[in-house]
Chains A and B, each alone.
Chain A
Amino acid sequence: MIGRAVRRFLLAAFTLLLATTLLYLAIRMVPGTPWGDDPATPAARIEEWTTRYHLDKGFADGYLRWVLAILRGDLGESYVVARGERVAALIAGRLPVSLALGLLGFCSALTAATLLAFAAARRPGGSLDHLGSALLYALHAAPTFWIAMLLQDLLALRLGWLPALGSGPAEASLKAGMPAILARIPYWILPPACLALGSLAFLFRFTRASLLDGVRSPHVRAARARGIPEPILLRRHAFSATRIDLVTLLGTLAPAVISGSIIIEKIFALPGLGQLFFLAAGGRDYPVVMGVGLVLAIVSVIGSALADLLYLAVEPRLRGRARAGAHP
């Protein structure tokens, strides 16, 4: 188990190294400097900055400098988006918004998918099952940004039930107490809900299939023969295996949540990491792109590593197989 964990985290480290190398390669591949397009910046200033940030040297030099700085805990300073500001401070300022959006969206997707899957699995092939599956099938094909814009148009612009943009009144910090927090709640309904809709169909389909597998398994049939009522069969006996399957999904969904929140942050004008990444990529702000990219990669990679290990922890049968090196 410990050996497996070590190996899993070595893979995570390898993925991070690969991702950051490719990221650095991608941004340095483009000729010119980040300030090249700006006619207001004198050439001498551009030259000074280029030397100061070591952009006149090669790719390997720059990447090594970045890695060494990271190991010292230094993410560098922004070139373009907020010139001179520390990247770490920029990220720290935006992380809460993205974390709140991601976690709220993820939890609501998981809850809604599980509840819907239970409703559908109660009578497989029934009208509720068919209707739900068909609707979610259509939802899976529709682009998230479109669904989000339709809901924004309907609920915020036409009906006026919820605010259309932003993360709430700026003065409403945690220090301002309960009323300030309450004032923010309406702003935090639509964006997480739209993010959740992006992965809802996928989660539902998976959970439903796993539940139905469970219902057909011998231990559930034996329990049914003992006269245990259907709802309890589903909730206790069939779900025990589904719970394990769900664990593996949680980690693999991290990249989907990250991709989704870039779009949701854009539509609802939320000042999160996705928006920062978008700005930095457009402005060729290397340190910011690298810093945010690192955070996003860490979330994705750690997510899937933890899910794998958690899977081993809750599914003892796999441990022996993992040792034997069996194939998936």
Chain B
Amino acid sequence: MTRMIALVACLAATAALADARELPPAPGAPHEFRLPAKESLRLDNGLELTFIDYGSVPKVTLLAVVRTGNIDEGPDTWLPDMTVEMMKEGTATRSAEDIARAAAGMGGELSLNVGAEQTTASLSVLSDHAVAAAGLLADVLENPRFPESELPRVLANFERSLAVARADPGSQADEALAKLEFGDHPFGRVLPQEGQLAGYDIAKLRGFYERNFGARRTHVYVAGRYDRAALEAALRGAFQGWRAGPEPTDLPAKASETAQLALVDIPGAPQSSVRMAVPVPDPASAVYFETTLTNSLLGGTFGSRITSNIREDKGYSYSPDSSIDAHRGGALWVLSAEITAEHTAAALTEIYKEIDRLQHEVPAESELTPVKNYRAGIFVISNSSPNGVLGQLAFMSLHGLPDDFLTRWVANIQAVTPAQVTEIARTYIRPERMTVVVAGDLSKIGASVRALPQFAGIRMP
């Protein structure tokens, strides 16, 4: 412990010599970091364009973010995923092969991805090809052909992926957690039912597309080096004729706030997949900065308390990790860890101990300051690439965050006090509101997990 104090003191650039060891040289003065400038405009059909001029190499990334995703699937789990996969199978004028070849010829690959609330189409190309890339991206978004001939193959691929997901202990734990947290909301159904995917025919896929894609839901971000006038003209030309389409849907997800425990039996599993989750303030909240910092200190960094304890002290787990998973209007603190089967109950006990300690003892400044420095440093690294900046802007757009979410990030992080961290832990990271999933060999671990005092009388759906 004295060693740690010596080190932290050094971080603060004071010269406290706690023992005979040599101290690390103190860091110099921080270099200036400026966020890259951005410019936005809106087309008549509602589509937004944002330009960021940034980078040292002649490449440009185009990222279209459409405000749709699994949130819009209703009971049809993975319908958006299959729809979007089929969008790569051809447009009115291009085959799948044409699309792949065109993108490769520009030095890139078209990537489509369905998220919970945002679906993205991205293409990163040599700058010389920026204009052509705009045309290709727009074509795939605006003119999908949904070729019937390709559906059986695409369906088989999804069925195979589903089978693999169902065989994966981690996925089974994730599925159980989502169900307990979000119930009948689409976020509560991570994997489709047996036979469900086969019911999605071309009409159904096309229907999803028609209901959920359009200019009003789309924001195209550009970052890198490019000829601004030429690219803007190309993007306007490619997107201004797109139908406005629907407004984004609003389907708030309400996460569970009661204590629940699910045990998933995976006979023979050498490890237990543990998930713990509890609602916390979302990014638009006034206390988000202390919330995200609390996560970093508790379980979100390598030096965090939970990782130090169950990995570096006990050796129970290789890569425990906690994060804040935000959706629009809400967020969950989620801890994930794969734990040696025989240490499952012991590891859970240690995790609860760490939560309890943070709730009851205000952390020292000397522990919190390095965590703040970490988040400030990560901020610079994250915003030092075109892709990083694009990701941040899309995240801010989803959560309706103002520009000063970024410009004041470092100041807001630095302003958090140790007492605020404890307050967040006490108010939100509460075991009595927490959902816990343990997926493992219940014949070996079930009894000891059930016997933990935190689970006495707990709801077991």
Q: Is chain B found bound to chain A in the same assembly?
A: no
Residue ranges of B at the interface with A (Cβ–Cβ < 8 Å): none
